[in-house]
Structure 1
């Protein structure tokens, strides 16, 4: 049986390669039918904010990668409630839709996966 993997994305979409790398790992794992979960934590929740325009910063937008996750079987998406609240996204329609978890939910989530990768 394939080992499950949780990828924790902690970087904002424009602060460096970490956000893109987390999505790439999730897409690659999904392509090989691995049980993958993706958790957006800290500044990583900024990837979920609607209306991002990477061209303004001369960077490629991550929206297409986020939309492709479900095509690769990565449909277990989570976000930290506190991270969303701290960044003013608590009552925002996120794209894509994610399950929002409190501190206890985060601990339970991490314990459900065999491997955890943080970027």
Structure 2
């Protein structure tokens, strides 16, 4: 039986490769039908902001990767409601906002957790 994996993405899409690497791990896990979830926290919630201009900061546009999550069977996509609020963002319909207590419970549900 496969162990479940939660990837926590804490980096903004323009701050370096961590955001892209988190999405790559999740998509690879989805391709192999692993039980996997993705949680956006801290500046990682900026990945959910619409209308980003990745070329302006010389980074790869991650919006296509985010849209591919559903195609790869990744239904467990979450965001910290506190992080969203602090940054003036709202959660897309494909992402479930969670408070701190719910995040703690979520982390406990997974066998392994990777934070990037």
Given the two structures, how large is their TM-score scaled by the length of structure 2?
0.96
RMSD: 1.1
Residue ranges of structure 1 left out of the alignment (5+ in a row): none
Number of residue pairs matched by the alignment: 116
Structure 2 counterpart of 1:108: 105
Q: Which runs of 5+ in 2 are unaligned?
A: none
User: CA separation of 1:42/1:93 partners in 2, compared to 1, >3 Å: closer, same or farther?
Assistant: closer
Q: 2:64 and 2:19 mapped to 1: Cα distance?
A: 13
What is the distance in 2 between the residues matched to 1:80 and 1:58? Answer: 27
Q: Give the match for residue 27 of structure 2.
A: 27
Deviations 1:58-90 (A, max 9, x none): 22210000001111111110000110111111x
Residue 93 of structure 1 and its aligned partner are, at CA, apart by 5.4
CA–CA distance in 1 between the matches of 2:21 and 2:58?
18
Runs of 4+ in structure 1 deviating by more than 6 angstroms, as ranges, are none
Q: How does 1:16-95 map to 2 (within 5 A)?
A: 16-89=16-89, 92=90, 94=92
Secondary structure at the aligned position of 1:68 is classed as helix
- Maintained 8 Å contact 2:37/2:74: yes
